[in-house]
Amino acid sequence: MEYNPSVLKRLHATFMVVAWLFFNSLGTSLARYFQNTWTNKQYFGVSRWMFFHRAYMGCCWTLTCAAIIFIFIDLEEFKAHAHAIVGLITFALCFLQPILGMATPSQTKARTTIKLLHRVFGNLAYILAVTNMFLGVGLEEAKISNAMYGLLGGTLAIHILAHVMFNILEYLARERSSELSPNKDAPFSRWRKTTLMVQMIALYAFTIANVVFVWRG
């Protein structure tokens, strides 16, 4: 009798794909490149970029926690292979992120350290999460087509290309204006918004494609 992954295993993979390839990628872009965009515009008392950053990262955190719960319910015993170990490390880093993000100590040095940890842990968690997806496709019990390697690579390429474009726009903005006004959007704001929209549409398409391969095997 041919083995087929359980629904919980497929949900685990689906939630991780959506969490990290879509929500985390967009949330990172917003925090990194949009602090001088939508200036003087707020949602519920916070800057617009911060509102969307928290919303996307909140979705990433929730889906990741749910995915971990699904796989622990499904597994009969813990197997200490690479995918499991990297997954647990990723989950630990992800779980800490909202705590670090909300921490606001009074001392400037402590606040700077926490901000640095938040950024380092966030980038490390993304790298580990995507790496673990490649490891997951290779698991025999996952029963996922090798074609998904290409889809994961395409999604990662979109993430990298978006960051390259954002960095180019950031460089051009600094060249045009050495001092940024807190009451005015930085130069090339429209291009940043356009790049974000293209990134969102492309990631959405590739994320859906990856989810399809998770379920079709």
What's the CATH number where 182 sits?
1.20.120
On whether residue 2 sits in a domain, the answer given is no
On whether residue 52 sits in a domain, the answer given is yes
**pLDDT tens per residue, range 109-130:** 888 899 999 999 999 999 999 9
Task: Give the percent of the chain with pLDDT over 70.
Answer: 95
Residue 86 neighbours by CB under 8 Å, 6+ apart: 128, 131, 132, 135
Q: What is the pTM of this model?
A: 0.90
Q: List the domain range (segments joined by +) for residue 38.
A: 7-215
Query: Where does residue 45 rank: exposed (0-12), middle (13-18), buried (19+ CB within 10 A)?
Result: exposed
On whether residue 20 sits in a domain, the answer given is yes
On whether residue 51 sits in a domain, the answer given is yes
Asked if pLDDT for residue 2 goes beyond 50, the answer is: no
User: Number of folded domains in the chain?
Assistant: 1
> Between 143 and 71, whose confidence is greater?
71
**pLDDT tens per residue, range 174-194:** 887 766 666 677 888 899 999
On whether residue 1 sits in a domain, the answer given is no
